[in-house]
A = this chain, B = another copy of it.
């Protein structure tokens, strides 16, 4: 998730048909209509405007997931810096629902470059040091992904997203056949706590019919896994980090808690009780505090919605808190869009989070921690990690959910709760259960971990890919 709830409440989809049946029908039809003339060479990026010279290849473009409605998903693919043939393939998904993996994941978090004015500056801790990184703008309606039929944006839900993502990957392999049998990891953050386990689950189902996906593990950053636990941790996080008073904390845990408020909000029935409490919470926490990182500065022009040009650049932190504004400017340049082979269809510009997508917000309340449990039982390694300065999906809830799942599955602790190291400092804390289910915090990190702690995130990522516990010493 990236934005506070902002969509109107919607009614639950009336009939949820039997999943596997529908699923295979959809996938088969999408696959058969796939235009086999596409090749990765057409998608090759010669050079992004302002980009420093690099030795590895980049690709971007569209993969059609539904020929009839011309539904096409946009991707950005960065091969590994060194010896890509020996490195795994990692799919990265941002959350929202409705936020862009290109603008957030690739250009603000773990991609090779970050926009700065007219230039791209190198990210020394890009995840393509360890893997071939595939960023997908999903679902349809996000960023450069589009449908020619705008009804496709209405009541998009987790099931549609999962199927589209699977079809995307299937068809993407046709463009990049050399990656077909490569070790595959899926990673993502926030609402991707829904997307990633759901996609992994249907991959395993698909594999029963045709072994296509060589899935080696999933990594979930500050993910929504169980609505109430995740959302109600926010009150405790606010309180323990000083953002709300003792009395407001009391109201926020007894009179109305956050999951109740979000539930009411998504159904269009906010009660006066919850409205009062949330107003109080919002007033105390203030819009000048980044809820995704309570210690980081905020981008003042962005908060005030003033012109970026008039305001001085903030350089108080080593992290560029205005990177989102920079990304919006960069990705809306015509020359950049041309270089990316990107089109704007039915929208005026590229946005960080979609304003045309009408997502089924009630899916938020469906727990995915149970799917995570199924994946673990199927032998898929899972890492849940938490940037510890994030109040939106706080570490407290994620840690509790992972610990609870381990107990439920009867997994013993194989690495006790302990610190881990990155660059001669504590990178955070970790615990591993049954050598397959891991939890980790990243110290001093935001909701978007690789954005605020790039070096620590790369250490985390490398250990995850190698299936090793995080470094115990330095």
Count of chain A residues with Cβ under 8 Å from any Cβ of B?
A: 48
- Chain B residues with Cβ below 8 Å from A429 are 242-243, 284
Q: Are A242 and B443 in contact (CB under 8 A)?
A: yes
A245 interfacial by beta-carbon distance below 8 Å: yes
| CB closest residue in chain B, given A314 | B424
Determine, out of A121-129, A183-191, A293-301, A369-377, the stretch whose residues face the partner at the interface: A293-301
- Chain B residues with Cβ below 8 Å from A423 are 316
Q: Are B286 and A418 in contact (CB under 8 A)?
A: yes
Given contact pairs A400-B246, A417-B248, A388 touches B241 in the complex (Cβ within 8 A): yes
Report the minimal beta-carbon distance from A423 to chain B, rounded to whole angstroms. Answer: 7
- Chain B residues with Cβ below 8 Å from A444 are 295
A45 interfacial by beta-carbon distance below 8 Å: no
Q: Are B428 and A242 in contact (CB under 8 A)?
A: yes
Given contact pairs A236-B240, A295-B443, A419 touches B286 in the complex (Cβ within 8 A): yes
Report the minimal beta-carbon distance from A373 to chain B, rounded to whole angstroms. Answer: 18
A156 interfacial by beta-carbon distance below 8 Å: no
| CB closest residue in chain B, given A243 | B429
Which residue in B242, B284, B295, B426 is a CB contact (below 8 Å) of A288?
B426
- Chain B residues with Cβ below 8 Å from A242 are 386, 388, 395, 399, 428-429, 441, 443
**B-facing mask of A104-143, CB < 8 A → 1, else 0?**
0000000000000000000000000000000000000000
- Chain B residues with Cβ below 8 Å from A389 are 295
- Chain B residues with Cβ below 8 Å from A202 are none
| CB closest residue in chain B, given A424 | B300
Q: Are B240 and A240 in contact (CB under 8 A)?
A: yes
- Chain B residues with Cβ below 8 Å from A425 are 288, 297-298, 300, 316
**With contacts A289-B419, A300-B424 known, what are 11 further pairs, Cβ within 8 A?**
A241-B388, A242-B399, A246-B399, A246-B403, A247-B403, A284-B416, A286-B426, A294-B443, A295-B295, A295-B444, A316-B425
Q: Is the interface of A mostly helix, strand, loop or mixed?
A: mixed
A431 interfacial by beta-carbon distance below 8 Å: yes
**B-facing mask of A384-405, CB < 8 A → 1, else 0?**
0010110000011001100100
A380 interfacial by beta-carbon distance below 8 Å: no
- List 11 interface pairs A-B (beta carbons < 8 Å), by A numbering: A239-B396, A242-B386, A242-B388, A245-B399, A284-B417, A284-B429, A288-B421, A288-B425, A289-B419, A298-B426, A318-B318
**Which 9 pairs across A and B sit closest by C-beta, in order of nearness?**
A240-B240, A245-B417, A242-B441, A286-B419, A295-B444, A242-B388, A297-B425, A288-B426, A242-B395
A418 CA / B426 CA spacing, docked (Å): 32
| CB closest residue in chain B, given A445 | B295
A297 CA / B423 CA spacing, docked (Å): 10
| CB closest residue in chain B, given A297 | B425
| CB closest residue in chain B, given A241 | B388
A428 CA / B243 CA spacing, docked (Å): 8
A283 interfacial by beta-carbon distance below 8 Å: yes
- Chain B residues with Cβ below 8 Å from A428 are 242
A237 interfacial by beta-carbon distance below 8 Å: yes
| CB closest residue in chain B, given A418 | B284
Report the minimal beta-carbon distance from A283 to chain B, rounded to whole angstroms. Answer: 7
